[in-house]
Chain A
Amino acid sequence: AQKVTQAQTEISVVEKEDVTLDCVYETRDTTYYLFWYKQPPSGELVFLIRRNSFDEQNEISGRYSWNFQKSTSSFNFTITASQVVDSAVYFCARMYYTGANSKLTFGKGITLSVRP
């Protein structure tokens, strides 16, 4: 199986620190999509960011930024000036297609704790 690996399991930071969440993926596909989801204690998976395999341009959206590097199969996610409300489990996910059907697979998640 083509895995998504999140080597970090738990990260604890103090509010206002920057934090980077790592993600490494395996793929044999030319076309694929990468995602980051946030899962707060309420349990719902909340979409954060998306990147397709043809666009390696890194972007910033508010306090979020991401670094996509196909050469190392990495898709890292950074939160700048973290806040207590950022405390959650963060999942990296990869989507590929088999025929017309999409398949979204997740890493094991990183638990982020932001202390006041």
Chain B
Amino acid sequence: EAGVAQSPRYKIIEKRQSVAFWCNPISGHATLYWYQQILGQGPKLLIQFQNNGVVDDSQLPKDRFSAERLKGVDSTLKIQPAKLEDSAVYLCASSSRYRANYGYTFGSGTRLTVV
């Protein structure tokens, strides 16, 4: 099966600019996750969708970050305006709703550099 697709692979922007990342999960996976991985740290969950509804966004900085999952398939994560501390790898993952305990499948991530 095709993996989790993410784009772009790399992005460099200036602070206060906006940026958007795209994710296409594995076909049929109802649950989609966005993680932020700052250099030298483990991934941290930003937001979790079940189909097109938000399940958990408790760690999403809502003043600047937003995410949507239209039609319960693709998802977009946006940052506006970006800050220097947003420099990180943004990982998208997906899982089957009833087999999440077998692990998530991760994409290759988008590496964001804010200068």
Chain A interfacial positions (CB closer than 8 Å to B): 4, 33, 35, 37, 42-47, 50, 52, 91, 93, 95, 97, 100-109
User: If A44-B106, A44-B108, A47-B105 touch, does A101 touch B48 (CB 8 Å cutoff)?
Assistant: yes
| A interface SS class | strand
Q: Considering the complex, which residues of chain B in the window 71-115 have a beta carbon less than 8 Å from any beta carbon of chain A? A: 89, 91, 93, 95, 97, 100-109, 111
B56: Cβ under 8 A from any A Cβ: yes
Best-buried of A45, A46, A97 by chain B (most CB within 10 Å): A45
Number of residue pairs A-B, CB distance < 8 angstroms: 57
CA distance A46 to B91 in the complex (A): 12
Q: Is the CB of A105 within 8 A of B45?
A: yes
A residues in contact with B55, CB < 8 Å: 101
B6 CB to nearest chain A CB (Å): 9
Per-residue CB contact flags for chain B residues 32-70 toward chain A (1 = under 8 Å, else 0) read 010000001111110010100001100000000000000
CA distance A105 to B45 in the complex (A): 8
CA distance A110 to B22 in the complex (A): 28
Q: Is the CB of B108 within 8 A of A42?
A: yes
Q: Is the CB of B100 within 8 A of A95?
A: yes
User: If A43-B108, A45-B106, A101-B48 touch, does A109 touch B101 (CB 8 Å cutoff)?
Assistant: no
| A-B pairs with beta carbons under 8 Å apart, 21 shown | A4-B42, A35-B103, A42-B108, A43-B111, A44-B107, A44-B109, A45-B43, A46-B106, A50-B102, A50-B103, A52-B101, A97-B101, A101-B50, A102-B31, A102-B95, A102-B101, A103-B45, A103-B56, A105-B45, A106-B42, A106-B43
Per a CB cutoff under 8 Å, which of B45, B108, B111 touches A104? Answer: B45
Using CB atoms, name the residue of chain B closest to A45.
B106
Chain B interfacial positions (CB closer than 8 Å to A): 31, 33, 40-45, 48, 50, 55-56, 89, 91, 93, 95, 97, 100-109, 111
Q: Is the CB of B48 within 8 A of A109?
A: no
B residues in contact with A42, CB < 8 Å: 108
User: If A109-B41, A109-B42 touch, does A33 touch B101 (CB 8 Å cutoff)?
Assistant: yes
A residues in contact with B103, CB < 8 Å: 35, 47, 50, 95
CA distance A106 to B44 in the complex (A): 7
